[in-house]
Amino acid sequence: MTGDNRPLAVFDLDNTLAGTAHREHFLRRRPRDWDAFFAAAPDDPPLGEGVALCRSAAEECQVVYLTGRPERCRRATLDWLAEHGLPEGPLHMRRNRDFRPARVTKVEILRRLGADREVRMLVDDDELVCAAAEEAGFAVVRARWALPSGELREAQEREGRT
């Protein structure tokens, strides 16, 4: 089986593979300090359950990363994935000025990915993203191993920032 034909396992980053608790204080400020929030992402600790699931999925699937992080964070995100030994795979990020809710942008990308490949699963911590993906017909694994963050959830839904 070639890598080009394998089903896709799609993984979110924040609070799925990477712990964001240490930088969420930047979101409690008014106005929120988005530059500092994203600048601190390289220091995210890996989340063991998510990393193990990602590595396991890579045995049968091509891993794809789907994040609400803005495109300007690409280099730091790729470096973080490599530093923590995560499988190589395409990284889909939010365009820098795209502030639509994550549940909209991520399902849009899932549909595009699923047009010619089986999407075996989406792994994400955002309940609204998970519900929208399921409604669109995708299999979902809810990443419930990180502490839920009200600030991050509000930012994802209302401000379309991550």
* 53 domain residue, yes or no: yes
pLDDT at 148 over 80: no
DSSP designation for 88: P
Which pTM does this prediction carry?
A: 0.91
pLDDT in tens, 22-42: 999 999 888 989 899 999 999
**What is the count of structural domains for the chain?**
1
- Kindly report the CATH number assigned to the domain that includes residue 84: 3.40.50.1000
What is the 3-state secondary structure of 39-76? HCHHHCCECHHHHHHHHHHCCCCEEEEEEEEEHHHHHH
* 1 domain residue, yes or no: no
Domain limits for position 96 = 8-159
pLDDT class of 120 with cuts at 50, 70, 90: very high
Report the C-alpha dihedral over residues 103, 45, 145, 22, rounded to 10 degrees. -70
Cβ partners under 8 Å of residue 20, min gap 6: 14, 41, 44, 146, 149, 152
pLDDT class of 59 with cuts at 50, 70, 90: very high
* 78 domain residue, yes or no: yes
